[in-house]
Amino acid sequence: MRVLAAMSGGVDSAVAAARAVDAGHEVVGVHLALSRAGGTLRTGSRGCCTIEDAMDARRAADLLGIPFYVWDFSERFREDVIDDFISEYRAGRTPNPCMRCNEKIKFAALLERAIELGFDAVCTGHYASLVDGPQGLELHRASDAAKDQSYVLGVLDAQQLAHTYFPLGDTPSKALVRAEAAERGLTVAQKPDSHDICFIPDGDTKGWLAEKVGTASGDIVDRSGTVVGAHEGAHSYTVGQRRGLALGVPAADGKPRFVLEVRPVTNTVVVGPKEALAIGEIAGSRFTWAGRAPEQAAFDCEVQIRAHADPVPARATLADGTITVVPAEPFEGVAPGQTAVIYDGTRVMGQFTIDHTVSAVPQPA
């Protein structure tokens, strides 16, 4: 099999490429240049697409004895990931750029080019498993629950799954991957994991958004509409946030208040008690299926609303182009723009972008 190994410069993708070579595949390594700022350097463990990462990926490919290329996907990344991130925040939603990157870049643009060049599959260092099920290929959680990345792969469809390869899916722990990298002589064996948003390497999302979206003062109100504070830009707030509210009017019960909603049209932030973060229903019209679609319009499942959240038993219903999910126990702190991934046990069924939420706690009269 001809395999294109996406090499980020980290330990996971390096070991994944090495295992593909060991399996006897014809492997070519590629690093995606996602930024036009060629001199960008890594800051601590932030980011994953710096010039240092490209150099680490090249050293790993040289050690493995495979051809290596750097492909410039910066323009596509800007349009499909960065611009989407900005527009979602402008609309008062909370996007997940890693989901968009997987959907639009790694398993769309990259995979499309790989197939055009005659490759059979794209190999990545994601922790997830592919299983031949009774009705086709299925995407499942990884063996290592702590490192499972099936959530961020929930955007993949059946055709994309047919051309993907996840060599690390059955590895019991990340420690074993690092040990294997050391044994192979890979210099990235102890390299820290990347975190935060790769195109905001200093981690200052609030400041970055202020430059892109601008600032405009507005009101912070409680659930009844009473003004309790002011802000300098609604985009700086996310549902569930507690710190940095600087409220001028304390709650009557003296308890802390949390962001419940961001309203971009009126430039208003709504706050309330922690219990009001409980969400009894979510819905969305932008959904895809990872393989076969559900046979029934209503079905039981588990739903995960964040990459590291616990899955919640739920009932999903499809009607009029919208999927609605009612959890057995309320979700907490859900914001429009987040991705909900649907599971059947360990199998990823699909995903949808949350457009609408319904509080489990009635608003006071």
Checking if the pLDDT of 358 tops 50, the result is yes
| pLDDT computed for residue 203 by the predictor | 76
> Angle 104-105-106 (CA atoms, 0-180°, nearest 5)?
115
As a whole number of angstroms, the distance between CA 228 and CA 272 comes to: 10
| pLDDT computed for residue 36 by the predictor | 61
User: Is 301 in the active site?
Assistant: no
Question: Superfamily for 215-272?
Answer: Adenine nucleotide alpha hydrolases-like domains (2.30.30.280)
Q: Which of these is catalytic: 49, 98, 101, 123?
A: 101
Q: Which two tokens stand for residue 46?
A: 């932030």
- Domain residue spans of the chain: 2-184, 215-272, 277-359
Checking if the pLDDT of 245 tops 60, the result is yes
| pLDDT computed for residue 90 by the predictor | 84
Please write the tens of the pLDDT for every residue from 32-90.
998 765 444 444 444 466 788 999 999 999 999 999 999 999 999 999 999 999 998 88
As a residue count, the chain comes to 365
Q: Characterise 132 by phi-psi region: left (phi > 0), alpha (psi -120 to 50), beta (else).
A: beta
More confident residue, 189 or 198: 189
- pLDDT band, very low/low/confident/very high, at 291 (cuts 50, 70, 90): confident
Tell me, yes or no, if the two domains 215-272 and 277-359 fold the same way: no
| pLDDT computed for residue 214 by the predictor | 78
Average pLDDT over residues 162-184: 95
Residues 6+ apart with CB under 8 A from 223: 260, 270, 272, 276, 363, 364
* CB-count burial class (<10 Å; 0-12, 13-18, 19+) for 40: middle
| pLDDT computed for residue 45 by the predictor | 43
| pLDDT computed for residue 328 by the predictor | 97
| pLDDT computed for residue 46 by the predictor | 47
Class of domain 2-184: alpha beta
More confident residue, 179 or 335: 179
Please name which of 205, 207, 130 lies closest in space to residue 163, comparing C-alpha atoms.
130
More confident residue, 273 or 196: 273
Checking if the pLDDT of 12 tops 50, the result is yes
- pLDDT band, very low/low/confident/very high, at 94 (cuts 50, 70, 90): confident
Of all residues in the chain, the percent with pLDDT exceeding 90 is: 64
Checking if the pLDDT of 261 tops 50, the result is yes
Average pLDDT over residues 261-289: 92
Please write the tens of the pLDDT for every residue from 118-149.
999 999 999 999 999 888 899 999 988 888 99
Checking if the pLDDT of 98 tops 50, the result is yes
Question: Superfamily for 277-359?
Answer: Translation factors (2.40.30.10)
Name the least confident of 21-25, 40-44, 316-320, 341-345.
Answer: 40-44
User: Is 123 in the active site?
Assistant: no
What pairing do the DSSP bridges indicate for beta strands 2-6 and 121-123? Answer: parallel
What pairing do the DSSP bridges indicate for beta strands 286-289 and 347-353? Answer: antiparallel
| pLDDT computed for residue 44 by the predictor | 46
Average pLDDT over the chain reads: 90
Q: Which two tokens stand for residue 116?
A: 């055009």
Q: Which of these is catalytic: 48, 49, 123, 198?
A: 198
Name the least confident of 103-117, 246-260, 262-276.
Answer: 246-260
Of all residues in the chain, the percent with pLDDT exceeding 70 is: 95
